Structure formats: structure tokens, C-alpha cells
Structure 1
């Protein structure tokens, strides 16, 4: 990064571009693996890779094309469950998830991770509403309702806020209209729903793996097991 004068994001893009020019390195590492392996690509969190930079779609096409690799892929997009505490942040993350779904064009699941961190902050009844996001979550945001009750503010009052006051702008009517538009877009496309993941709960992890198996048709690809001759032998009396 220092040698080429690149920042963290620019350095990451450069590394992916370098990888795409030297895919033999990836092929050699994966070609010897059999169908018994579940390969996990732990991708970086820089959102540019999943919104407008075409590198990952090209990598997906390389991995899935018929030939030596022909890997069945399932994209698992992780959004921290702590985002549900800030509903504007939650919808921003959900919009990014939808962008990744459109960009990658592979079987895809969205996961609310780190559920153990919000168990004491959000009721189970409320958490269910975040599994299938809808714009109504913004209308009854407890934080916004409490703020307006305390300040006695009206929506039109916020439009007169000082443009240099970032906190005021983030509370303003314009910001709420933007959030509402984003939430409406997500709701209209109706593409994003979430699975809940708590890594401390074995059943939760097993359920996620089961969904991934379904997406890649793992069980359908298995060869029928042939019984050995000794398994046909009658038991001795």
C-alpha cells in the first residue's frame, strides 16, 4: 500500500485485480479437493466489492463455470444483529445485502449474526419483524418516538437545521425521508429476508448449514450408498 500510494480500500481492490490476473494460483489450490469438502471463502467486508466493482461477479463466474472447478456456490451475507438497535443502520445494511444478491447472481442467504449480543436488548417478538424487513419498522422506531416526545419537535422543524450540524441533519426530516425511501425500495423488491445465527447455539448453526446445503443441492449431488456384501448376511442365531 505504501509503495503504490493506496489506501486500505484501494489496496484491497488491487489485490483482487492481481488475483484475477493469476487465477492459476486459485485453481491449483482447489483442483485437488473432492466433493466431500465444504470450501469457505471468507470475504472482506468492504462494501464496494458487492455494490459496483465487477471483480467478485467475475470471480464467481470463474469458480462456477463448467470445467476443472465447477463449484456450487452459496453466498452468505452476514449482517450483525446489533444493527437492529439502529433502524436506519439496519436498512442501510439490508440495502447492501440486496445489492450483493443482485451483483453475485448465485444462491444467496442473508444472516443476522451475533444474535447473542441482542438477546437482552430486543424482545423476541420485535426481532421477528426484522427477519422480513418492512418500512413499518421506521414508523414506530422507539428512539425516534422518544426523541420527539422529549423535544416536542415537529417534522418540519428539522428542515431548518444548520447544514453544518451533522447530528441535527441525522435527526432531520430529510434523513427520515431518505430512510423511508430506502425501506420502501427494499420492501417493494421483497428479496431480502434473514436467518438468525447464534454461534453459541448448536441448533442455530446447524440450521444455517442446512439452508446452505439446500442452496448448493448438496444432498441431491450425493451418490447412493452401496451396501457391502457382508451387510446382506443374515444374523447368526
Structure 2
């Protein structure tokens, strides 16, 4: 899939070539996403070193610049579908990128949904889910996955397993009709609104990121266990897997910038 010019040595890629490759690989145009997916800030023309992160906070952008990155790939970007004045903290974030000549590329929903390096695909793979099917409707598209564990586990044992995977202490709502986990839906980030869909598919458990007050009662009224493992911690998987894919494809060095929010 790579169309890197033959005069470019491995480990060095023209920015525009890499941006085009990312757009095709992530199938960005297929998603109606309020995030401005793609290159949000243009920097240096040649990419040798990549940093990846979940968010684009000022601290993260400064960390990327200090690490010598030419490109920051983030899951949550700087722009969300509407004009935003360059004032206050937003100005400082943009300024940090411009001063460092740092390219900022964002992949939000496309990176949740990607079948190879997406957040949900990576979590499902880590949990060895079988018989996968699309799950988790978002704007008319299912971006998560549902499947079956190889063996039934108690809800507590499953939560402990997720905690080891993410490093986050899970919040568990035991609303299921059974205190065990076998048929599971995975939807990273803010997936609490998919509890009803999980029940309709006959899933006993939903694994997602953060809870929402308006969906608190859904778990108990629909009879679905819900394991909340943190919005941030369920979305570290995609950017890291994408960076590893870039290393394989182009030989680019990369670094994951870890700035957890606890949410």
C-alpha cells in the first residue's frame, strides 16, 4: 500500500505521502465524525520520528516537541467540527505545535473502528474473543465488536483481567441476570449508550470506557453487566498499534506519550 518515493530512505517519509497513506489505511472518508480527522496542523515536510498519544493537551504537544517528533498522531484532536478561536489554552496548544514545526494528525472514530489496529479490535484480540460481529452503533455505523470468550468467567475475574490489561481499576455494574461473563460487547471510550444494544444482541456484558449518569440504570433494567475500564485507558491501544504499523511499513521510529487522565 505504501507509495513512498524510491529516493526516500527507509525511516524517512515525506509528510504528504504519509498523510495520504494514513487516510487510505484508516478509511477516513467513510466516517461521519465531528472530529477533523486527518492532518490538523501542518509542520515539517519530512517525517523521521513519530509520537502517538490519546489526547492533544498542551503537556502532550510539548512532550512531542521535546521528544524530537516530526509528527504527533492523536486520537482526540484539537478541532471538533466547529470554528474555535485561537485564544486561551487552545491558542497555547496550537502555538506549541507551530513553534516546534510539529505535524499533528488525528484519527478519532476511524481508529476506534479499524479492523486491524483499532481500539476495539486490539482489545478483542487481547481478550481472545471469538465469533466476532459488529457492535456499537455510532452515527449509523457499528464501530465496536461483540464476541465470545473461550470460557465463562465470573464477573469479578473478568474485571480483574481487564484491569491487568489496561492498568485501570475498573468500575463494575453487575446488572446482568448472571454474575458471569461469556458473550461480550467491546466499545472503547464513551460507549455506555450501547447497553440497550448489548441486551438486544443477547450479550451478558459490555466493556467500555467511562460511565454516564443518564445510563446508570440501563445496566440493571436491561440486565447487562457493564465493566467501565476508563475512557483514556481503553483508547491507548489504537495509536500504539498504528505506530507499530508505521514502523513496519516505513521504518519510522515512534514513541507513545502517556498522559493518563484517570477517566
Shared fold, TM over 0.5: no
Name whichever structure is richer in strand by fraction: 2
Larger radius of gyration: 1
**TM-score scaled by length of structure 2:** 0.23
Task: Report the TM-score, using the length of structure 1 for normalisation.
Answer: 0.25
